[in-house]
Amino acid sequence: MDNNGVGSWLHRRRIKSGTKTAVISGGKTLSYADLADRTARLAHALRDRGVAKGDRVAYLGENHPSFVETFFACGLLGAIFVPLNTRLAAPELQFQLQDSGARLMVSSASLEVAAAASSLDTEITHRLVVASDDVTEASALRLPSGVEHYGEVLDPASAAPLDEAVTLDDAAMILYTSGTTGKPKGALLSHGNITWNCINTVVDMDLNRNDVALMISPLFHVASLDMGLLPMLLKGATVVLESKFDAGRVLELVGQHKVTTLNGVPTTFQMLCDHPGWSTADLTSLDKLTCGGSAVPQRVLDAYEQRGIGFTSCYGMTETAPGATMLPVSASKAKAGSAGLPHFFTDVRIADPLGGVAGLGEVGEIQISGPNVIKEYWNRPEATGESYSDSSWFRSGDMGYQDDEGFLFVSDRMKDMIISGGENIYPAEVEAAIAELPAVGSVAVIGVDDEKWGEVPRAIVTLRDGESLTEEQLRSHLDGRLARYKIPKSVVFVEEMPRTASGKIRKTGLRQQYAR
């Protein structure tokens, strides 16, 4: 084939695994042959509407087979896929559509209002809307003039093979960063970035064709897409798509489909083990749990260990597609708190303040290199230039160190570091200590101005249902565990934390509200 990118995967997989179940969603099952056929039809439909190699196609919707089909159809055409965060407001979506220059948008019917509003004053010329049932709901779904129904466009289209010349260096996807500071940047992932990230995942997670992954996180998030869905389809395994997270339903689906793999953030895993059905749920099939975003609280680790399930922790970012390191279950106790070892085809180093390589155990900036690391941001040459050291090493902006066995320990984001009386305080360390308290649901530590010390730490805390905790009890817990200057000088108890789509606490919002 002339197409050496991700668009060729389903054709190649159909040859090897045509009758194997690829996707399960809402009671429907698609084999690899079905998925390849539908993707080819969609690719023809997109091309008939003017989409060519290099054009951008946006997707706004929940986890659904149409997401998978649109991604691979773009790959067949050499077009660039732009997944949009369904939790964004219309102006935020509009910015990403304008910035990417997307020409066509696929969206779910439930988000038609947001899709219509965000596509105004953009280069969008065609919109396709996906209903929950492509046949029965087509006539019931009232669409504005010029907007077409996804099923009615796909069904009559040709399924003839497509073989556009695509290389691993060609652009495959624009993923916008979370935008915790300023306007979000579009990370431009190549076909090679995605392919090598998936190979890393298959190798380090030891995935096989009999695995079943339950997708409980939104596919517009890079970890869910590139660490969850795509490696499974590359390997010929099965994915179960859920449009939204419900702890009780997840526990049921694990037993029903004999799910082996879950990918999520600490919050989702905590909600599962806190659910009333946790103790009786059939979890015997689970053997690969991957968690990213932040460290898993010890009490959550203990809850899963009691059920005979271990965690694989990951560290990475959108710009690394996203895998950088992975901590295997076998090392989870001996290397507690570590982000693990570099992925098989990825290198990690720690840079000192002068740009040299830091010594073992010395804290510095974490830098990543490898075929999974992006080469540029979309239309952001300045940001691209600022993000690389020695041309090939991506500057993560995170602080950390490596031990004598190469295991990475993440201290914190550079911008989150608190300097109090000349001493550096890394919030992640303080947060981990506070999270040991059984009453604590989630915690974030920020710096607040102080007349004497310049800056001191403040803890923002949510409590678990039915639990109580005082500031005095929290500080007493930390006394002796941390140096005095690291103990928060004040504590604010809140009902809810502001979070990004990936589940990470949005510290920018906390600083705006509580840093004074």
User: Could you tell me the CATH number of the domain that includes residue 506?
Assistant: 3.30.300.30
Q: Which of 356, 385, 413 is the last residue of a domain?
A: 413
Whether omega before 322 lies within 30 degrees of 0, making that bond cis, reads yes
463 shares its domain with 389: no
496 shares its domain with 374: no
* 47: helix, strand or coil: helix
**pTM of the predicted model, to two decimals?**
0.85
Domain membership flag for residue 176: no
467 pLDDT higher than 70: yes
246 shares its domain with 129: no
Work out how many domains the chain is built from and give that number: 3
Burial of 435: CB neighbours in 10 Å, binned 0-12, 13-18, 19+: buried
43 shares its domain with 145: yes
DSSP structural state of residue 291: E
Domain membership flag for residue 173: no
92 shares its domain with 51: yes
Q: Which of 187-191, 315-319, 391-395 has the highest mean pLDDT?
A: 187-191
Which band of pLDDT confidence, cut at 50, 70 and 90, is reported for residue 296? confident
What CATH number is given to the structural domain containing 156? Answer: 3.40.50.980
139 pLDDT higher than 60: no
307 shares its domain with 393: yes
Which band of pLDDT confidence, cut at 50, 70 and 90, is reported for residue 181? very low
278 shares its domain with 221: yes
Q: Which of 375, 393, 413 is the last residue of a domain?
A: 413
Domain membership flag for residue 292: yes
Q: Which of 99-113, 265-279, 478-492 has the highest mean pLDDT?
A: 99-113
The token duo for 372 is: 């999974």
Q: What is the mean pLDDT of the chain?
A: 92
pLDDT at 475: 96
What is the domain extent for residue 349? 192-413
Q: Count Cα atoms within 13 angstroms, Cβ side, for 100.
A: 35
Share of the chain above pLDDT 70, in %: 96
245 shares its domain with 373: yes
Domain membership flag for residue 149: yes
